[in-house]
Structure 1
Amino acid sequence: MTALSRGARALFLLGAAVFFGLPLLWLLLAPTRTADDLTTGSPLGFGALGNVGDAWSHLMSYNDGEITLWIGNSVIYAAASVVLALLLCVPAGYALAKHDFAGRRALLTLSIVTMILPPAALVLPLYLEMSAVGLTGTVWAVILPLSFYPFGVYLAFLHFQANLPDSLLDAGRVDGASELRLFWSVGLPLARPAIALIAFFGFVRCWTDFFLPFVMLSDDRTFTLQLGLMSLLQSTGAVNNSSGFADLDIHQSEAALAGLVACAPLMIGFVLAQRFLRTGLLAGAEKG
């Protein structure tokens, strides 16, 4: 690699770091400053840690601390959806990878096609389906659709196909193991990296989803954190000074802190699952 190409690469990486890093740095620093500091001082200045506590107390003043309810709702929705998705995706991926049955190719093709469809295109059919069984406005109207995760099925299929030899399963069958025992004792232990990968991506998908809860839920007591923050920001002075609730002391500092609260579980989850994610992404990439 020539000096010119190395310099060009370094310049590109520096530009990308600045472009993507500055907004994150502002988000981290904004809760330490007051609303006046944000409008008059340096955009990247540091205020005082005490301002973070003040910003949180201001957020808690909205509807008697409803933000904590939204956080709890998001945790429940995401955890239940991920558990159900794993219960569906891992056995489905195993069956598609290791069993030949009528309709197998059609199911695999359908999973891939559904996986590439825009999520917004499925919201209306899902709403009509939930409405037909009387589940709109309930937690199940969010949990059940989010548990349908074709990408997770495809990840499990790829993992089992690449990392679970048929000869290993045949040896178990010769020893008299049932298909359920083979899946539980042989398939699942080898699929831990894939399970971690599916769980992480499924959690990110559930935690960040906005449009589905927006369509399915009407009571703000059942809102997710993403949906609740939209309601908070629209009805306070954080982005709309002419709002009817603009007298609440919720401005840009509080909005930045709310954004950090929404991002924190994703960052913590990524740090905790990093080793499993790396293993899951590389599994099957090299054979022999």
Structure 2
Amino acid sequence: MSFFPPEDFSLDPRFIELQEELRSVLFAGLSALSPSASVTPEPQTTPVQTLDFSNVSINIPHDRLICYLQNWVTECAPYLDKFDEDKHFQIHVPLMAQKSPALLYAMLAFSSRQMERRGLTQEGCDSLELYQESIRLLSPGLQAKDPNMLVTACILAVFELMSGGSKNWKRHVEGCASLFEFFGVDGFSGGLPQAVFWCYARMELCGAIISDGTETTVLPLSKWAPSPPESLVSSEQIERYNLVERTFMTTDHFQNNGSSSGMSCNIGMMSVLRR
């Protein structure tokens, strides 16, 4: 068996195959959803049991899985929560993962990959096996319109970005963009959807900057905020909306013209992914 440098999976045939499988699962899941259905993710109607490691098909010792969970809470989640004072990835997502196997394995894959990148693992690469398991469990959740699939897809996208390099960044985020658009989630949705959106948005922005302004975001900037109300009833509301518009216009300018801040964003994103 060939081994690739721990910092890059881009040449690993298994990673490439799984990446394509994830894209297929996401787009197939979206195409199967009725366009007339509610645009808000619905809870599963059937009871979901807490995951039992003894009932799954992975061959990773339980003590290593526990180590990855601990690493998620202490090292990984704080960086995904960088601008979220409610710490959804650190506090809420682990609780949700108790009843969502796909989400749990996405967390474990991300944490395992982060430890591999830091040289903290000596037993080979568990991350691809965990990544594969999360993908396998993702399809039923999409069919059930499980709201946990939004955060699962986002975590897997970040996993791909830090595993396979940034050249094909659009392929890592296209599935997420389609999910956000279908379910009508934007940067002001509130709660976990909002936190997940801004985690996704950082990938979009850094990807656009990495491309030196030659590519725009996958999810149009007009979808990043709700449509303006027909009437803004107070000057405070008007100023708040104008601030959002100016922020998006500035972002678009950096994408199209490039900026010295692009390098700092790129470095910042890569340092987060490699911690």
TM-score (norm 1): 0.24
Q: Highest relative contact order (Cα 8 Å, sep 6+), 1 or 2?
A: 1
- Report which of the two has the higher share of helix: 1
Larger gyration radius, structure 1 or structure 2: 1
